Every structure is written in structure tokens, then in C-alpha cells.
Amino acid sequence: MWRESGDGGEPTRRAYLKYGGAVVTSGLLAGCTGGTDSGSTADPTGTAAGTPSEAETSTATAESVTETRTATAEPESEPYTVSMAPVGEVTFDAVPETWVANNGSWADMGVALGLEPPKAVWLTSRYHTQYYDSIPGVSVDRSDMVSLYQDGVSKELFYELDGDVHVMDPHFLMNRFGGWKESDIDEIDENVGPFFGNCIYAQHYPWHEDYRYYTLYEGFEKLAHVFQRRERYAAFESIHDEFQQNLAPVVPGQGERPSVAVLWGVGDGPEKFYPYIIGEGTGFKHLRDLGVRDTLASTDIRDFHGSRAAIDIETLLEVDPEVLMLRGYESKSAETFRNTVVEFLRNHATASELTAVRNGDVYRAGGLYQGPITNLVLTERTAGQLYDADEELFDRQRVADVVAGEL
């Protein structure tokens, strides 16, 4: 399906990957690699952890490669090249049919483009397909989807999946645990299919400081080029622009916004929390778009990514934010979340003194991995929680039509 750049011979499974001078490091970094998004985990720094990683901004270099653009017809029959840091230029002789995604951000982009779901994501438990429930006719069955991380990630699994393209940042794979080297990436690229992706959900990894990040819609546009669904991307871009216009009058002035603390709660009876400072990356897009006033940003409490440390309820009470936004509970319904986590806090001797608990302003903070559809759903949901917005802020039927290819 692919051929090496500049190869005039027969097509091969090999795509040309140019790493553009980015430094590839394979050392083990502290961070989460496993677990579920259920709030029942112990320590997000270990392999059994349930916390994600986002925040912290880093300086990125400009992308130096160019992208081959052709007519808007979908799909193209001629070879085409798409570029993205850190992999550089990837040339496709035909549109990929099967794929593997790093996480729910990319998987959701695929849904928006009307693709078949990816064969695998890093952890299926963190791909929250219930967000599609409000979109008519749109659903994803995860029952046959595979988790890439299974107490490590094996090359054999990539061979079994046999994806035409792997939509993930190869640096992520090499740096999340001590199992993969650059030679392993090259082997899968050579024998199975190329890597094409960037770690867009977080902006705190040291290994990502040598090449640029992409916004959600920049990454989405790249993926649309890979799958030759650029007209659907353009339609979603229009939906997003209209959504931003609808959102503007909902967001009150800075002085009228409640103070919010974003935390990862440990377990259904949380007595310690991992603090998150709202930063860049798609994992915080809904909160940034809503202009959330971050309580923790003005305190001495260090962000989880810089400290790997938790805070207790007594420390949280000293800050006493007006609203608690808790991550790690997206697998629970709003009702189950209230009946377990919120109920525990109400009955806790210290937590019950928190302003947010007394006033009933404790909410799920949204998933780590946001694509174009899930971002719309989460931003609208959070607008209702924080600003009492009760109207629909985007046209769900229009989203469903674009997914179906009715442009």
C-alpha cells in the first residue's frame, strides 16, 4: 500500500519516515501506563495507575516539511504525501483501510471522518464511547477493540493487528515504559505499516520538547488528509466555528466565574487527590474554551506532572474552591458518580466542610482524550455545570450528517 519516498518501483508496505532531526530517547519516564478511568486506582505514577498526563507547556520547533495537497475529491487514486512532526513525510499509495490509534482523541477523529473504528487504542477503558449517545445514529462498539497496553506493549500484537497505519506518536511508545527502541519502531514500520501521529493530548513530556505540538483541529486536519476525508474535516471545522460563536455569550465575565479546582480523585471514597493545573494540550481544551478560573494556579500547590504528589482533603480545604472538577470517573454515569463519590464527600467529616461539597458543585471533569465530537459534548456539559447553560450549543443532527458523509 505504501512505497518509500522517491521509489519508482512496485508499491510496498513501507512508508518513508523522516524524523526531521528530532531527538529520539528511549529511557523510561515516570508516568502512568495502565489502569482504567474509574477512579479506583492507587498511584498514578505506577503501571497500575489510572491518571493521565497533561499540562505544562514547552517550546516547540516549527515543522520544516511540506505537505502535498491535491484536489478535494475523496479519495485520491494517486500517491499522496502527508507530513507531521515527529515522523515527517509519509507517502501513501492508497488510502489506509485499517488502523490503530494511540487513544480516544484520534479514535474520535476517525468517527468524525466516518471511518471504521481503530482496531486498537492504548487503553479501551479510556475511550469513552458513551459521549456519542446524544448524537443520533452515531455509536461505536468497543467489544472487539484491543488495548495496546497489556502490562506492556508487545510487537507481536502489532503484527496480529496488521494495521495499515498506526496513528500514534512513536516517541510516546518508546518513552512510556522501557520496552521499545527506535529499531522496534522501524521494524513495525517496515513489516506492518507506518507510524503517523503526535502526542497532542498533553504538553508536559520532556521528550516532546524538540518538536512541535498540534492543536486538536490541526491534528484532525492531518488525519483527514491521511484518510482523504478533507471535506468532512472542513464541515467539522465549520461546526466548531459555529459552536465557538454559540459558546461566547454563555461564558460570564472573569469576575463572575466560580473558582474551580481540577483534581484526579483516588477511588470512590477519595481522601487524596492529584492536582492538575489547567494547561495546554487537547485534554484541557474544554476548560480553556470555557475560560475556567483555575484556583490551584494561584496557590503553592504543584501540578501533578511536576511533583507526582497528592494532596489531602485538609490541604484542599485550605484552598476551598467553589467547584470541584474530578477526573477519573468518566466511566460512571452522573447519577452513579453522585451516589458514590459525591455521597462519600458529603458524609466525610472534613470533606463535608468544602464549599463545593456543601453547595453540590462537585462534577466529573471530562475525559483525557478529546476529539472533535467528544470535545463538543464535554464542553457543552461543562458549560451547564459551571455556568448553568441549559441550551444545546451545537447541532447534533448536523454532526450526525457529516459523520454519515452527508455534507
- What's 108-138 look like in SS3? HHHHHCCCCCCCEECCHHHCCHHHHHHCCCC
Does residue 185 register a pLDDT over 80?
yes
The string of pLDDT tens digits covering residues 126-175 is: 999 999 999 999 999 999 999 999 989 999 999 999 999 999 999 999 98
Query: Mean of the pLDDT values across residues 346-361?
Result: 98
Kindly state the helix (H) or strand (E) to which residue 45 belongs, with its residue range: none
Query: Do the beta carbons of residue 135 and residue 399 sit within 8 Å?
Result: yes
Does residue 59 register a pLDDT over 90?
no
Structure confidence at residue 219 (pLDDT): 98
Does residue 47 register a pLDDT over 50?
no
Query: Do the beta carbons of residue 89 and residue 83 sit within 8 Å?
Result: yes
Does residue 179 register a pLDDT over 90?
no
Distance CA 289, CA 196 (A): 27
Structure confidence at residue 155 (pLDDT): 95
Distance CA 51, CA 222 (A): 27
Query: Do the beta carbons of residue 209 and residue 56 sit within 8 Å?
Result: no
Structure confidence at residue 308 (pLDDT): 77
Does residue 316 register a pLDDT over 90?
yes
Structure confidence at residue 220 (pLDDT): 98
Query: Mean of the pLDDT values across residues 216-237?
Result: 98
Structure confidence at residue 302 (pLDDT): 87
Beta-carbon contacts of 347 under 8 Å, excluding residues fewer than 6 positions away, are: none
Query: Mean of the pLDDT values across residues 104-117?
Result: 98
Structure confidence at residue 306 (pLDDT): 66
Which pTM value belongs to this model?
0.83
User: What class has domain 252-403?
Assistant: alpha beta
Does residue 373 register a pLDDT over 80?
yes
Structure confidence at residue 75 (pLDDT): 55
Distance CA 148, CA 163 (A): 12
Q: How many degrees, rounded to 5, is the angle at CA 380 between CA 377 and CA 381?
A: 80
**Residue 368: pLDDT band by 50, 70, 90 thresholds?**
confident
**Residue 203: pLDDT band by 50, 70, 90 thresholds?**
confident
State the average pLDDT for the chain. 84
**Residue 46: pLDDT band by 50, 70, 90 thresholds?**
very low
Does residue 178 register a pLDDT over 90?
no
| % pLDDT > 90, the chain | 75
Structure confidence at residue 20 (pLDDT): 33
Mean pLDDT lowest for which of 46-60, 93-107, 252-266, 333-347? 46-60
